[in-house]
Amino acid sequence: MAGGAAMLVNVGTVIMTVLTLASLVGGFGVNWGNIASHPLNPDIVVRMLKENKINKVKLFDADSWTMNALAGTGMEVMVGIPNNLLETLAEDYDNAKDWVKENVTAYLRKGGVDIKYVAVGNEPFLSAYNGSFLKTTFPALKNIHKALKEAGHTNILKATIPQNAEVYQSANDKPSEGDFRSDVKKTMLDIVNFFHDNDLPFTVNIYPFLSLYLNEHFPVEFAFLDGDGKTITDNGKNYDNVFDANYDTLVYSLRKAGIKDMKIIVGEVGWPTDGHKYASPKLAEKFYAGLMKRLAEDGGTPSRPERLEVYLFGLLDEDMKSILPGPFERHWGIFRYDGTPKFMLDFTGQGRKMVPVAAKGVQYLEKQWCVVNKDTVNLDEVGPDLDYACYHGDCTAMQGGSTCSNLDKIQNISYAFNMYFQIQDQDVRACDFKGAAMITKTNASVGSCLFPVQIVSGSDHVRINFVFGRLVVFALVLLGLVTAI
């Protein structure tokens, strides 16, 4: 991870730091996703959350294994409804009742799960979806809310819709000009009025990193919350970072809709550590230090100075996420795939140089790697095998400016071979490539470029098929990864 070697906690490192988090920052939780080839056992994850004194989690589904692991912990939980269920829930109220019965009511028992929110969809109005969920999201929300109310749950939990900050905009990039995007404005006004009438919160995902990723001229320091960004003034309020400006653009958008006091939850905010020149442990540490300090001070934004409620994104790396938004998508975790922390992070917001507590009890596959067999490989003919390995594996850390972008040609191919080999549970047949590869017991990692050994997951019931597999190769080619090798 570029520039982050000093901050990096490598796999196998013995972490001697002991955290004492008696004064943990309030108002924050973490996003726990599992779009991974080998998800960590939920019991291990829950133990890690407890040891880091994190007591709020946001899920993207209501997976029973995960929910049962959270039962009895007292952790506040936001359960999620995937976008592919929105049409079913919108079409038939009985479907919404069944979903609530099976995924909410079933866990609201003594010693059960402390569900606080139900997230209906996830960023359903992204422009990239071309309106696919525009007609189903609001009806699904209404049916879920009705089902929750009928079951007697609305006094203890709320429905919401996590939206990407893309649903609102400002013509001149100043918060006071904020308004909902024209193509979704009518539906958004219906939704926020429904929220207002039923005392439901507005949930928004804000990503300062994307401002840098999408605009090469964006001022770097304006992406962080440490006060070093150049200040802009709008309606007498000063902004020195894009997070505040983005959040307040939503505040002004709501005001234009006639709503001044709606609760706002930041559903996702974080910083990736690989897959782009600005995605590194060093910059992630910088971003989170500023954010946690803000939360520790109970500080809000210029237009909403009250305490923020946020969910950090994310808890763990997910090696099977779509990379269409960018190679960094698989590297948002504060922790690696195996629960190893990637950088210093003081959850108390006091700025101390502390390493989060790593996951305990993680079992790994055998310490072996798949690498190029220099005696048999034909470098002129290995291209298709490289494409195949990246097609079924994860080559995002090889993207320019990333952790593994400075490998030589042999090392590049070895990295791709090993990622495929590990995802295939070290099946010996996955380390052949027409005789171009071999298994070695010698750690193949190069400097800060980790050649991982995969974990024993035991989670076949949540193992996700590589839905976006065919798109990955095309995306890698478009990004220039394969041709650059």
Q: Which residues are catalytic?
A: 123, 268
Q: Please give the backbone phi and psi of residue 280, each rounded to the nearest 5 degrees, phi first.
A: -150, 155
Question: How far is it, in rounded angstroms, from Cα 381 to Cα 186?
Answer: 55
Break the chain down into helix, strand, coil percent, rounded to 5. 35, 15, 50
Which secondary-structure segment (H or E) carries 415?
helix 409-423
For the packed helices 137-150 and 185-197, what is the interaxial angle rounded to 10 degrees? 10
Question: How far is it, in rounded angstroms, from Cα 50 to Cα 70?
Answer: 11
Q: How many residues does the chain have?
A: 485
Give whole-number Cα distances, 199 to 122, 193, 262, in Å.
20, 10, 8
Q: Which residues contact 25 (CB under 8 A, 6 or more apart)?
A: 292, 295, 296, 347, 348, 349
Q: What angle do CA 102, 108, 111 make, to 5 degrees?
A: 125
Q: Which residues contact 112 (CB under 8 A, 6 or more apart)?
A: 71, 72
Q: Is 260 exposed, middle or buried (0-12, 13-18, 19+ CB in 10 A)?
A: exposed
Query: Is-contact 395 419, C-beta < 8 A?
Result: yes
Token output for 247: 């959040």
Question: How far is it, in rounded angstroms, from Cα 89 to Cα 98?
Answer: 9
What SS3 state is found at 308? Answer: coil
Query: Is-contact 287 271, C-beta < 8 A?
Result: yes
Calculate the dihedral angle through the C-alpha atoms of 126, 132, 133, 135, rounding to the nearest 10 degrees: 130
Q: Is 201 exposed, middle or buried (0-12, 13-18, 19+ CB in 10 A)?
A: middle
Question: How far is it, in rounded angstroms, from Cα 55 to Cα 1?
Answer: 29
Token output for 120: 């209906």
The identity of residue 296, as a single letter, is A
Question: How far is it, in rounded angstroms, from Cα 225 to Cα 294?
Answer: 8
